[in-house]
């Protein structure tokens, strides 16, 4: 069998990760389907979690960290009155107390309001946080507990989707660093149920990206090669929150040489010092990110490779 040659393709794939596989497995499957030479994700989902997983290919990996700190939205299903050693359905489940009454809808609303805003959260032992260079879950699997410090997180909103006896379905909008498993436990305790664990978790949005834009692995498998390529979003879709600046030919050349350039006069005072900006040529070719200095110049922050830009130029000339 002749091995398919890996391709240097670049762009962003919004993947709807299925249940039961790791984020890395989902990434590797997508990489094989597109015969891509290089790819990386913008943050992981647990194997039991499903939903939005942006994957960056080629030059887009230079900007993959831009989504790590983005706000996220989840649909979570909580089992009230029970606890899990892992905070989800993959752990050992135990009932807290058989006599605990299920909360009312009104009680849930009142309790959930206490979690809105900046709150403290203790990271779980079953997490990838490092202690002496080793993930906490490695200690947890050996029955060890490591002392952790509570962290400040932000919960922007929580809405009740349904309440059926001891099953509570929520939509949660939160900031970076939030462990929804821990949030579920804390909500269960605050409701007087003794605790709760996640029986289902689905990420529906990251920043402005949502599941309506995402593809499943099965959908990708059934596509032609050209359709798979067309499923990729342009690299600069990751950076739409940054203001854009169009450079003339000489300024674009100098910035690609790593030199600081004068900020266009029309932008003086418009963009604050230290702000990162998207840089484009007069032909609307994305070059990368620059940063406005106190001297009102643009310094290089992160650029696309010369070989990639030459390839884009050749493609534009042939089209």
- Indicate which residues carry an active-site annotation: 46
Alpha helices in the chain (DSSP H): 23-33, 105-112, 136-141, 180-190, 217-221, 225-230, 249-256, 306-318
Closest CA to 182 of 286, 260, 282, 76: 76
Identify whether the C-beta of residue 312 lies closer than 8 Å to the C-beta of residue 285. Answer: yes
How many helices, marked H, and strands, marked E, lie in the chain? Answer: 8, 19
42/44 Cα distance (integer angstroms): 7
Reduced DSSP (H G I as helix, E B as strand, rest coil) percent helix, strand, coil of the chain, to 5: 30, 35, 40
Which residues, 6+ apart, have CB-to-CB distance to 317 below 8 Å? none
Strand partners, 12: 56, 233
- Count CA atoms closer than 13 A to 130's CA, side-chain side: 3
The candidate with the shortest Cα–Cα distance to 166, out of 116, 75, 99, 90, is 99
Contact 280, 290 (CB under 8 A): no
- CB contact set of 94 (below 8 Å; sequence gap of 6+): 82, 83, 84
Q: Are strands 286-292 and 209-210 parallel, antiparallel or unpaired?
A: unpaired
């Amino acid at each position: 069998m002749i091995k398919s040659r890996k391709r240097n393709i670049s762009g962003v794939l919004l993947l709807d990760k299925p249940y039961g596989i790791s984020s890395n497995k989902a990434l590797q499957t997508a990489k094989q389907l597109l015969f891509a030479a290089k790819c990386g994700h913008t943050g992981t989902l647990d194997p039991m979690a499903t939903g939005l997983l942006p994957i960056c290919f080629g030059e887009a990996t230079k900007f993959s960290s831009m989504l790590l700190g983005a706000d996220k939205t989840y649909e979570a299903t909580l089992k009230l009155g029970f606890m899990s050693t892992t905070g989800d359905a993959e752990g050992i489940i135990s009932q807290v107390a058989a006599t605990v009454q299920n909360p009312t809808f009104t009680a849930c609303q009142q309790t959930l309001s206490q979690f809105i805003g900046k709150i403290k959260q203790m990271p779980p032992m079953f997490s990838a946080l490092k202690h002496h260079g080793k993930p906490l879950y490695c200690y947890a699997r050996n029955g060890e507990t490591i002392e952790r410090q509570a962290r400040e997180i932000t919960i922007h909103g929580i809405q009740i989707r349904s309440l059926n006896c001891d099953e509570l379905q929520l939509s949660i909008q939160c900031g970076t660093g939030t462990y929804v498993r821990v949030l579920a436990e804390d909500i269960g305790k605050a409701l007087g149920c003794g605790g709760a664990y996640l029986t289902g978790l689905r990420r529906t949005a990251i920043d402005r990206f949502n599941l309506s834009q995402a593809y499943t692995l099965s959908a990708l498998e059934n596509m032609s090669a050209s359709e798979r390529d067309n499923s990729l979003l342009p690299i600069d879709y990751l950076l739409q929150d940054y203001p854009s600046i169009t450079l003339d030919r000489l300024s674009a050349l100098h910035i690609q040489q790593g030199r600081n350039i004068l900020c266009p006069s029309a932008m003086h005072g418009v963009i604050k010092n230290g702000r990162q900006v998207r840089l484009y040529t007069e032909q609307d070719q994305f070059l990368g990110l620059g940063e406005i200095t106190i001297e009102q110049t643009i310094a290089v922050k992160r650029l696309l490779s010369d070989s990639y830009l030459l390839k884009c130029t050749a493609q534009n000339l042939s089209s």
